Amino acid sequence: MQRILLLSFLLIPASIQSTYTTESYFDSSEEAPNVLLNHLNGSDDEELTQINETQPTFVPGSSKRLTEYLLSKHNHNAPPDGLLYVEYELELVHILGIDELKQTMTVLIYVDEHWIDPSLTWDPALFGGITKTWVPLDKIWVPDIIVFNMVKSNRLAHEDLLSAVRAPARIYSNGTVVASHPAVHTVSCEINIRHFPLDDQRCAIEIASWAYGHEKIRLHAHTDHSLEHYKRNEEWHLLNLNVTEEKYEHEGIEVSEVKFEISVKRRPLFYMVTLTFPSYIMCAISVVGLFARFSTTGEREERFTLGVTAILTMAVLSLVVSEKVPHSSTHVPLLVAYFLFNMVIVSIAAMTTGIVMKVHRLGRYGDEPHEFWMKLFFLRPIFRTSNRRTYRMNPEEPTQVILVSETRNGDLQTKKTSELNGTAVKEVMLSSRLEALEEYIRKMVNRCESIKWELDEIDAAENIELVRRRSTNGYVRISERLDIVFMFFFLSTVTIPVAVLFYLS
């Protein structure tokens, strides 16, 4: 039937054949893609020819006879006689992740085991010169080497991948058995997040036989290819891989153990850029807003409101941090401690503004502080007397005014001035009471006008002096110095920790 179909296809014209084959895979308007084959070097064909020429010719059926021979004399339930040395090599391929809450590490590894089984030897001359063959693992005896601290094996999750490998045991004519396979293991280890996100972690993979004691199986570790195919993790940086051979006792059995200790360091760039730096910017802006003088009075009663707003903003940002930071009740992570520190500093800064405003309010009347406080802040007094002056007219003599002044100690001093115009009221002999009364009223009006102008001039000068005293008295200048000192202090307090964190990262 196949021959008939082949002959019928050959009888079809070439034009029809080309049309049929082209339309079967590609559209007539499209151009068929090209397949390129790149060689590493140009001598592949020559090397293949040399290999074929130098390779001995195998006797047909020799591999089958060899497998039947080995399985006939080998019992997969019986271990080799005497002490068995197993050469064990673990190759770390990739760190899949670390779960801080569950205290586990998941890794992808390649396992390579070597041992010698005398029951699997043969003479290559009897089997067509074959010196190496492959036998399924379930057909021969293999040591029960397991990972002792394994929480769970992801072999089931990756069953399709691992079963597709179909890695049989490689057996040599001298009885050497080589068994290798990939594995994904989740092992338990102690995770300390005290210094998160600048933390270092160490996790060990403890490998030993479960049933065979130290007198039967001894493991020897190899590190020739431990990191040959390692692929780096985006979050964790591999520091080193330490391998030790120890003895482990369990169930009354002392077994030979190989421990592979993996040391890693977290890459903190993501946490520093997305959490630490924005927190610092917010704290710095809050401190500057609390102690900077942008108003003419300098009192800035809204400072405390600004501080409360900054604290609320930090609290909202801490909620975001709690989602990023691993949860633990044993230690407070370094990042959480840094956020708590910033909140405390901003809170103290907001409360400190109350002290500054209190000092500023003491000088609202232009009073001067004690000389000791002026010297403490390296200031010199500008005004020696107080500016609280009150003027009133003498009720007994309308042409006189009384000046009342308040000194720095609060004592009142009263000074009676002489006549403002320096002249006495002239006695006027009036011929008639009507003319005398008119003249007296006219003089009183003129005198009142002159007194009013003099008092206005005095009040204007006093107002200017009062404004100058209120804006430049000692208390105001001390509050300005306090603003500067507190600003630099709190800015330094929030800057030094973030600088140290960036340096350590």
Q: Is the pLDDT of residue 163 over 80?
A: no
**Which has the closest alpha carbon to 92: 112, 118, 66, 72?**
112
* pLDDT, tens digit, 9 for 90 and up, residues 303-321: 777 778 888 888 888 887 7
For residue 484 the two structure tokens come to 């500067």
Contact criterion met (CB below 8 Å) for 236 and 100: no
Angle formed by the axes of helices 474-504 and 433-472, to 10°?
A: 20
Q: Give the model's confidence band at 5: pLDDT under 50 very low, under 70 low, under 90 confident, else very high.
A: very low
Comparing 419 with 338, which gets the higher pLDDT?
Answer: 338
Percent of the chain with pLDDT over 90: 34
The answer on pLDDT for 52 being more than 80 is no
Q: Report pLDDT for 467.
A: 62
Contact 168, 227 (CB under 8 A): no
Among 79-88, 194-203, 412-421, name the one with the lowest average pLDDT: 412-421
Say what the pLDDT of residue 100 is: 85
pLDDT digits (tens, 9 = 90+) for 262-301: 999 999 998 899 889 988 998 998 898 888 876 545 556 6
Instruction: Look at 49-63, 85-99, 354-368, 381-395 and tell me which has the smallest mean pLDDT.
Output: 381-395
Can you list the domains of the chain with their CATH numbers? 62-266 (2.70.170.10), 271-376+488-504 (1.20.58)
For 110-119, what is the mean pLDDT?
94
Residue 12 has pLDDT above 50, yes or no: no
Q: Tell the residue number behind the tokens 């840094």, with chain if given.
A: 338
Residues forming beta bridges with residue 390, ordered by sequence position: 404
**Dist CA 462 CA 483 (whole Å):** 29
CA-CA distance, 448 to 393, in Å (whole number)? Answer: 11
User: Can you list the alpha helix ranges (DSSP code H) found in 299-418?
Assistant: 303-324, 334-362, 371-376
Residue 272 DSSP label: I
- Residue 405 has φ and ψ, to the nearest 5°, of -125, 150
- Name the nearest CA neighbour of 261 among 220, 221, 202: 202
What pLDDT, on the 0 to 100 scale, is given for residue 22? Answer: 37
Residue partners of 111: CB distance under 8 A and separation at least 6: 88, 89, 90, 91, 180, 181, 182, 183
Q: Who's near 240: CB < 8 A, 6+ residues apart?
A: 263
pLDDT of 15 > 50? The answer is no
CA dist., res. 273 & res. 258, Å (int): 40
> What whole-number distance in Å separates Cα of residue 88 and Cα of residue 90?
7
Angle among Cα 233, 234, 240 to the nearest 5 degrees reads 40
Cross-strand pairs, 242? 261
Alpha-carbon distance of 495 to 342, in angstroms, equals 10
> Looking at residues 418-441, what average pLDDT do you find?
52
Cβ atoms < 10 Å from Cβ of 104:
20
Q: How far is CA 356 from CA 164, 350, 410, 487, in A?
A: 75, 10, 24, 12
Higher pLDDT, 326 or 102: 102
Cis? peptide before 197, omega within 30° of 0: yes
Helix 334-362 crosses helix 474-504 at what angle (to 10 degrees)? 170
Whether residue 426 has pLDDT greater than 50: no
pLDDT of residue 409: 41
Mean pLDDT over 350-361 rounds to 85
